[in-house]
Amino acid sequence: MSHHHCNHDHDHGSVEDIGIQYNLHEKIDLDHLECLNESLEGSGKSVFKPWDKRLDRSKFVESDADEELLFNIPFTGNIKLKGIKVASEDTDSHPSKLRLFKNRPNMTFDDVMIEPDQVFELQKDTDGILEYCPKIVTFSSVSHLTMHFPKNFGAETTKIYYIGLKGEWTPSHRHGVTLCSYEVMPNLDDHKLKHLDSVARTIE
């Protein structure tokens, strides 16, 4: 389990640099993003916003029946996930734990009993300052990320204002595309005589 945030110095780089790095919200397939146990339908999507909007308190997600929140996050390609930021308010509604699952679409609260790929103990962070570092080896090819917030610091409901994701994005490689690229590059030695024959017939 990971009980702490990244141990490198967060002060290096300007705010603009951080904003450029924390841009994976642009690579989320928002139409298919789901947030389970959100009190207001669709509010879970609103926390994946640009870095410079992280302090906007008008858009947030709050849990409904209890303190748990579960995000199913599909990406438009493959992600190498390098950093996570979670901002809430300085109250007991701030989530206290984050469990990550890689490439398990459509998880429900019944599924989260399985062992997560990584767990973070969260600290209260109102400004999105703390950065949590996923294991690069584990999260180097992520097409779908599940974020489970199982508890907070003692309140009945959990609130989240901002979730930032940092990393690298590459387009998905679909098998059909790969096969096509091989088909348009035939072995010329195998086809040389046939090509000559067809050319000769065409001339006649």
Question: What structural domains and CATH numbers belong to the chain?
Answer: 15-171 (2.60.120.470)
Query: 3-class SS at 194?
Result: helix
What pairing do the DSSP bridges indicate for beta strands 69-87 and 34-36?
antiparallel
Please provide the DSSP assignment of 71-130 as one string. EEEEEEEEEEEEEEEEE--SSTTSB-EEEEEES-TT--TTTTTSPPSEEEE----SSS--
Whether 189 has a pLDDT exceeding 60, the answer reads: no
Q: pLDDT value at position 13?
A: 54
Structure-token match 């294991």, residue found: 135
| pLDDT > 70 fraction of the chain, expressed in percent and rounded | 77
Phi and psi torsions of 195, nearest 5°? -60, -40
**How far is Cα 64 from Cα 158, in angstroms, rounded to an integer?**
8
Per-residue pLDDT for 185 more than 70? no
Q: Cα separations (Å) of 51 from 22, 162, 181?
A: 6, 9, 38
Mean pLDDT value of segment 160-167: 98
- Neighbouring CB atoms inside 10 A of 204's CB total 5
Task: Give the residue from 50, 55, 64, 38 showing the smallest Cα distance to 147.
Answer: 38
DSSP strand E in the chain: where?
34-36, 61-62, 69-87, 97-102, 118-121, 142-149, 159-160, 162-171
Q: What does pTM read for this prediction?
A: 0.81
